[in-house]
Amino acid sequence: MQLNRFIQINTPYSRQQAKLILAQGRVKVAGQVVTDVNLEIDRFVRIELDNRVLQELQRCYLMLNKPVGVVSATEHPEHQTVIDLLPQPLRQGMHLAGRLDLKTTGLMLLTNDGNWSRRVTQPDSKVAKVYRVTTKDPVAAEAEAVFSRGIYFRYEDITTRPADLERIDRFNSRLTIHEGRYHQVKRMFGYFDNEVTALHRESIGAITLDPKLKPGEFRPLTPAEVALF
Ligand code: URA
């Protein structure tokens, strides 16, 4: 948004008055007097008029351990949402960088910074997501080969990107995928008619779920974690 428009929306002043106020040097952006009416501003820059703060929003980045039965949405008529797990003062403007199914547990990233969450979720970024998978039946002998070749999803008319399977035991494995199609992991195991009975996301790119976080708990990302995207 342009600065002139911001002043118009956030004060009682008209467009012409906003121009005059700017020309008089009464507006500061990030602590500096600004007179350029066309300056593009974002929602995180501090803006003052006559030394009164008009906008001051901190960027916020969190990781959360999603419990079973909590929905990956900002609002839901029936279920508790991931946003509901945050204390009220932290909820404003927060959204999810990616989703998990109702019964899936593990790493969720939340932020109020849309540019950052777009980098995490953009389909072309090929960010690796690692899931711990428990299945009803033993994992098929040819699963590694099939997952690394890719599986055709008729609904989207795509073949999944090569995925890595690491076996833990007959019923437990670790799957790394590089995209996030609807119910992707369940559908990949569905190829073998094998039901996923538990699914837990361990990491997104180089951000790994903090083992100290119990289900439902969250913590701010460190600056180094934020800088990974
Ligand atoms: N794949 C799924 O099937 N479910 C999830 O929640 C995440 C990946």
Q: What pLDDT does 6 receive?
A: 93
- Ligand 1, atom nearest to 72 Cα: 6
- Residues with active-site annotation: 101
| Nearest residue by C-alpha to atom 4 in ligand 1 | 183
pLDDT in tens, 62-81: 999 999 999 998 888 899 99
Predicted local confidence at residue 39, as pLDDT: 94
Q: Could you tell me if the CB of 101 is within 6 A of ligand 1?
A: yes
**pTM as predicted:** 0.87
Residues contacting residue 87 through CB under 8 Å, at least 6 positions apart: none
The pLDDT of 191-195, averaged and rounded, is 97
Taking only the tens place, the pLDDT of each residue in 91-150 is 988 999 999 999 999 999 999 999 999 999 987 778 999 999 999 999 999 999 999 999
CB 205 within 8 A of CB 40: no
Taking CA atoms only, the protein residue closest to ligand 1 atom 7 is 100
Cα–Cα distances (Å) from 187 to 146, 155, 157, in that order, read 13, 11, 14
Band (pLDDT 50/70/90 cuts) for residue 53 is very high
Query: From the CA of 186, how far away is ligand 1's center (Å)?
Result: 6
Pocket residue to mutate for ligand 1, from 70, 186, 196, 200, most atoms within 8 A of Cβ: 186
Across residues 215-219, what is the average pLDDT?
98
Check if 183 has its Cβ closer than 6 Å to any atom of ligand 1: yes
Which domains, ranges and CATH numbers included, belong to the chain? Answer: 3-55 (3.10.290.10), 61-226 (3.30.2350.10)
- Six-digit token string for 132: 């711990």
Length of the chain equals 229
